[in-house]
């Protein structure tokens, strides 16, 4: 009788464990073109966070910046330098209304306390997918999301701050968009006073666009897992930055 009860208890425990997991079987196409068939198991709580991230990302549709990036991704990352003084001009401008709308929609993916904070979502994915090429790609995605990848190309100082850093972007958002913190706002304004206003705006918007690009790649992986589809691990840069110099005007 004791042996029977123990067996039933083990079966019940296995059933409960299975009900708390999501299992996925996918083909991963690696940069070497090798195809790996892989079984991934997520605890249900982790998968719910991934599904929430994917569902929240759908709300980005309809934002003008998002729509333009989908139509012509490279244009959104470029800028021009023109005239004898080297005037800075972004190739794609963003209005205040568009910017505020984008920030509102991206907020759940940027705040550390949110279950859909992109680095946290990447951590869940890396923990369960043991294919090194996928993990390496997710590291790149996180570097893009947090601004580290951009700083490989260039670093833009703004007083004591780094203009194109995640730390300064979050200071700017915290002091001027998410909350009103006078002391922090003074720090941000002092830094912004050290650079051309158009240049400052370009890089702050660019940081948001790169977060959006990184989020898109994360959601594509989640969607592939959920749909049982093959996922191709990219081996190219997420964004290429272009700078063109217009000829000086003839006088």
pLDDT at residue number 66: 78
Q: How many domains does the chain have?
A: 1
Q: For residue 176, tell me if it sits in a domain.
A: yes
Phi first, then psi: what are they for 37, rounded to 5°? -90, 120
Q: What is the DSSP letter of 33?
A: S
Q: For residue 1, tell me if it sits in a domain.
A: no
Q: For residue 197, tell me if it sits in a domain.
A: yes
Q: For residue 100, tell me if it sits in a domain.
A: yes
CA dist., res. 51 & res. 111, Å (int): 17
Domain with 90, as residue range(s), is: 26-245
pLDDT at residue number 52: 96
pLDDT at residue number 190: 93
pLDDT at residue number 174: 87
pLDDT at residue number 242: 57
Q: For residue 114, tell me if it sits in a domain.
A: yes
Conformation bin of residue 165: beta by default, left when phi > 0, alpha when psi is -120 to 50: beta
Q: Which residues of the chain have pLDDT under 70?
A: 1-19, 72-92, 236-251
Q: For residue 147, tell me if it sits in a domain.
A: yes
Q: What is the pLDDT of residues 152-173, one digit of tens each?
A: 888 889 988 999 999 999 999 8
Q: Starting at the earlier edge strand, list the strands of the sheet with 231-232.
A: 35-43, 21-29, 231-232
């Amino acid at each position: 009788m004791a042996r029977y009860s123990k067996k039933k208890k083990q079966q019940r425990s296995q059933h409960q464990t299975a009900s708390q997991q999501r299992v996925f079987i996918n083909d991963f196409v690696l940069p070497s073109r090798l195809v790996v068939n892989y079984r991934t198991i997520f605890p249900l709580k982790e998968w719910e966070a991934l599904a929430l991230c994917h569902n929240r990302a759908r709300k980005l549709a309809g934002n003008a910046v998002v729509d333009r990036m989908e139509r012509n991704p490279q244009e959104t990352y470029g800028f021009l330098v023109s005239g004898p003084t080297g005037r800075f001009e972004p190739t794609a401008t963003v209005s205040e209304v568009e910017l505020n709308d984008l920030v509102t929609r991206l907020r759940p993916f940027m705040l550390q306390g949110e279950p859909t904070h992109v680095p946290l979502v990447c951590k869940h994915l890396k923990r369960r997918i043991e294919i090194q090429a996928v993990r390496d790609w997710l590291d790149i995605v996180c570097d893009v999301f947090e601004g580290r990848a951009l700083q490989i190309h260039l670093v833009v100082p703004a007083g004591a701050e780094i203009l194109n850093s995640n730390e300064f972007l979050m200071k700017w958002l915290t002091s001027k968009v998410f909350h009103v913190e006078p002391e922090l706002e003074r720090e941000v304004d002092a830094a912004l006073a050290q650079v051309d206003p158009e240049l400052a705006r370009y890089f702050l918007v660019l940081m948001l666009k790169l977060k959006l690009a990184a989020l898109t790649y994360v959601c594509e992986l989640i969607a592939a897992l959920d749909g049982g589809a093959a996922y191709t691990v990219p081996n190219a840069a997420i964004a290429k930055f272009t700078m063109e110099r217009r000829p000086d005007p003839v006088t």
